[in-house]
Amino acid sequence: MKVKKYIAFAFGAALFASSCKKDLLDQLPRADISEEQFWNSSDDAKLATNGVYDAARLLFRTDYMYDGLSPYGRYRNLNNSSEPISQQTPLRGAAGNFTPGGGVGSGFDNTWKLCYRIINRANYVIFKLDPLINQETNFDKKQQFRAIRGENYFLRSLAYFRLISLWGDVPYYEGVLSGNTEAYKLTRMPIADVKDKIIKDLDSACAVLPSTLSIQDRGRASQAAAFSFRGKVKLFWASWKKFGWPEIEGFTQDAAEAKLYYTAAAGDFKKVIDNFGLKLYNDGNPGSYGDNNAYKHTELPAYWQLFQKDAEYSSEIIFSVQFAGPLLGQGDWLTRGFGNRNTINGQVYYAPTNFLVNRYQLISTGDFAPPVVLSSSATVANGAINPLTYENNTTVLNLRGKRDWRMKATMMWDGQRCTWLDPSGLLSPLGMVEFKWGNKGAGFINYDDSRMGYIFRKWVRQEPTGGRTDGSQDFYLMRLADVYLMYAEAINEVVGPTPECINYVNLIRKRGNLPALAPNKVSSRDIFFAAIEQERIVELTAEGQIGFDLRRWRKLETAFNYPAGITFRSTINVRDIDAYFNALPLDFQRTYLFRIPLDEIERNPKLIQNKPWL
């Protein structure tokens, strides 16, 4: 099913690049089809919409990179420079070069363009569907056309939501532009007005999208997805209104408006929770831990299995961008980002850090363990640490077996092993990968250029097929666990901790084999918010959520220890790089509000650059 679906994506995308032939005497080649011949049925409209999904796939395929706006993941530096982090570009991908700090704006020009690609395609399909809906007399067919138009409203809303989340005020249009001349006359619409347009699109999608999807249509937008993202847009707006966004000129904080939107967001999330029969993967049970060196599928926690192909159609996955491979040109990039040289020639672009390790709590108490102690040959020689016996030492860290099970499911450390599966599904000894310190010297892992001493297990492909950018693992944009946590956050902001929202947080903790929150963790709004933040960090790491959270909560300065900054160090205490080291306020301002691409401003003199970049 999936192969056919994604071949259709390619065909749908091609519709936007072809011209229409008007001369009836000019016979069409057998492989071509005219626009007039094409727009006749809901199948045609669905096929055209596949081109919009295809554009969304390109935009979101490296979304995990946004977690680099936190201390919990480290992107490797491609040029191995020791310059300040604001001058480096550690990742190249669909969203362009990426780094926290001053370099953020210049690296995301392609994201701007990909967002408008989705918008252009969605606008075109909506433009073609509107007359078909008005002319159709058959009720069922009319509803089919409306549902497909709802998918395009949904996809357009995702693109505009990404745009305002990064750039604030942006050009907005709903129609089909006549050409570059019209495009280069567009001005920036205030973010409040764009937000209203986004919610209006999602209102329309909520009204017409199906509540359930057939097997053939899995991966398309559903009513649950529309309600989830409508709630998320409202939650973000509430956060921006509560915490402020001073980098946007004219944007004002408003506690009363924030409360209204928190309330509205909670209502949307509650619909998702109550009305669609969704469940956490494996019913939220943690599964099996095995021993510290376990590598077989049956010895890994259920949370790890959630990020493998078998779980793609779990009802926990509310919406994802889909990939297919190998050899279709539509593969995921996850192995390139997370895998190592032994797992289909991955490059370890993104690695966990000691800051993330310290976030995994003890299953005995449900609270934090003492921070890990970074070992080195010097401290061992001085007798301060024996890495073979000290349980909280990063080289051995015996506490790992005593921590949140999501840690083992998410990351690997020295001596850990994983395996691939052969095509028959049996464990393949030839696919064994053992993670060891090795041949690049102190501070390096022998799998390419991960300097942290850890690599991810989450998202690493298990099938030895295709290249490192040719996998078929879907990337999740909305999960039920995320909805639970956003609902708890919204309710907490409106009325404080309630038994219901505390229970939803505890359901997430259960999958890490953690005990329920102690009473002192839910005793006030601020304390319970800290528990929600904690769960968002460990539950959603490497899914592109944490960086956006820190920005909407105005917590970048706190996370990076402003003004001193933080230093990324390996598990054997070798300095890698400083992040926001002795940063200026401008460094954070430019991370809260990105730079409009300079070539867009050159083409359109009506675009005004964001204030931090002037």
Assign residue 146 the CATH number of its domain.
Answer: 1.25.40.390
157 is a domain residue: yes
Q: What's the confidence (pLDDT) of residue 77?
A: 47
Q: Which two tokens stand for residue 584?
A: 């200026």
Q: Which two tokens stand for residue 204?
A: 């329309």
Asked if 185 and 607 touch (Cβ cutoff 8 Å), the reply is no
> Where do the DSSP E strands lie in 350-399?
350-352
Residue whose pair of structure tokens reads 């918010």 in the numeric block: 529
How many structural domains is the chain composed of?
Answer: 1
Q: What are phi and psi of 536, to 5 degrees?
A: -65, -35
Give the residue from 504, 486, 535 showing the smallest Cα distance to 303: 535
608 is a domain residue: no
Give the residue from 411, 194, 196, 198 showing the smallest Cα distance to 307: 411
Task: State the greatest distance between any 2 C-alpha atoms of the chain, in Å, as a whole number.
Answer: 89
Alpha carbon 428 to its chain centroid, in Å, reads 31
Asked if 397 and 413 touch (Cβ cutoff 8 Å), the reply is yes
Residues of the chain with pLDDT under 70: 1-37, 76-107, 292-298, 341-343, 375-400, 414-451, 463-465
Residue type, 562: Y
428: left (phi over 0), alpha (psi -120 to 50) or beta: beta
> Domain residues for 147?
2-68+85-233
564 is a domain residue: no
Give the residue from 224, 456, 209, 460 showing the smallest Cα distance to 320: 224
In 286-320, which positions are buried (b, 16+ CB within 10 angstroms) versus exposed (e)?
bbebeeeebbebeebbbbbbbbbbebbebebbbbb
Asked if 366 and 509 touch (Cβ cutoff 8 Å), the reply is yes
Distance CA 452, CA 449 (A): 9
In sequence order, the β-bridge partners of residue 393 are 373
504 is a domain residue: no
Give the residue from 599, 318, 338, 273 showing the smallest Cα distance to 478: 318
List the alpha helices (DSSP H) in 347-454: 354-357, 377-381, 406-410
Residue type, 607: L
DSSP run (H or E) holding 319: strand 317-321
Q: What's the confidence (pLDDT) of residue 283?
A: 96
pLDDT digits (tens, 9 = 90+) for 267-311: 999 999 999 999 999 999 999 888 766 566 667 899 999 998 888
Would you give the end-to-end CA distance of the chain in angstroms? 50
249 is a domain residue: no
DSSP run (H or E) holding 308: none
β-pair type (475-479, 433-434): unpaired
Q: How many CB atoms lie within 10 A of CB 599?
A: 11
Distance CA 416, CA 293 (A): 5
452 is a domain residue: no
Distance CA 401, CA 516 (A): 19
19 is a domain residue: yes
141 is a domain residue: yes
Q: What's the confidence (pLDDT) of residue 381?
A: 47
> What 3-state class would DSSP assign to 73?
strand
